[in-house]
Amino acid sequence: MAALEKAGHPVVRITLPNTYTLGRKCSAGKSPPPSPAPSSTSTPSNQPDVEASKIETRKLTTEYEASGHLPPESPFFEGPGVKLYADERNTAALKGGTRLVDILRTHLGRIKPNDYFAVLGYVLMDAANEKTLQELRHTVRDSKKVATCLGFGPRSFIPLAKPTKAALTAASSCKSPATTPTTCPCQAKNLPSA
């Protein structure tokens, strides 16, 4: 907490008279907190992209109900053990890279102050994969100074096999001793600033 405070991030300390009041404080957290200042540009109860996601999901389910199949999708990049998909706007921003490392460098270079970076691994949820993805998350967090989080794919996702080494190479390359700073997409000194 001291490091966050020293870096200029807001820190709130709540002193409770006893452990019995902890439950009340947790319940209070379920309702939106008051805005810290009238000029605040963020809404405390806002959930980014939730409504947009619901709209897109409704479109897909409506199309599926009408036709019996989902619209075809094509990856904008294919490499050993990996296919990349994105909407038109992101595909345009990332297209042109011929190597996974170049596409990742471009994508991570788009992170700007007040953004957040989320890793959602559709891979086997085990200690090895979590360690690899946490290293990626921590590298981005520390180099870009943005909020980050890690999660694993839908609860119903049960992979038939562990991901291939090639599929995780980009995520783990920043910790590989054989990787040079010019080939690693997440080295702090090589991430382009926005």
Which sequence spans correspond to the domains of the chain? 68-187
Radius of gyration of the chain (CA): 20
Q: Which two tokens stand for residue 36?
A: 């810290």
* CA 86/CA 20 separation, integer angstroms: 48
pTM score: 0.50
Written as one letter, the residue type at 37 is A
Written as one letter, the residue type at 110 is R
pLDDT tens for the chain, 194 residues: list them. Answer: 888 888 888 888 888 888 777 777 766 655 555 444 444 455 555 566 778 888 888 888 888 899 988 888 899 999 998 889 888 999 999 987 889 999 999 999 999 988 989 998 888 888 999 999 999 999 999 999 999 999 987 654 444 444 444 444 444 444 333 333 334 444 433 343 33
Distances (CA, A) of 140 to 1, 7, 30, 80, 194: 19, 16, 29, 24, 13
Q: Which two tokens stand for residue 82?
A: 């990996």
Contact 169, 133 (CB under 8 A): no
Pure H helices in 45-99? 50-67, 88-94
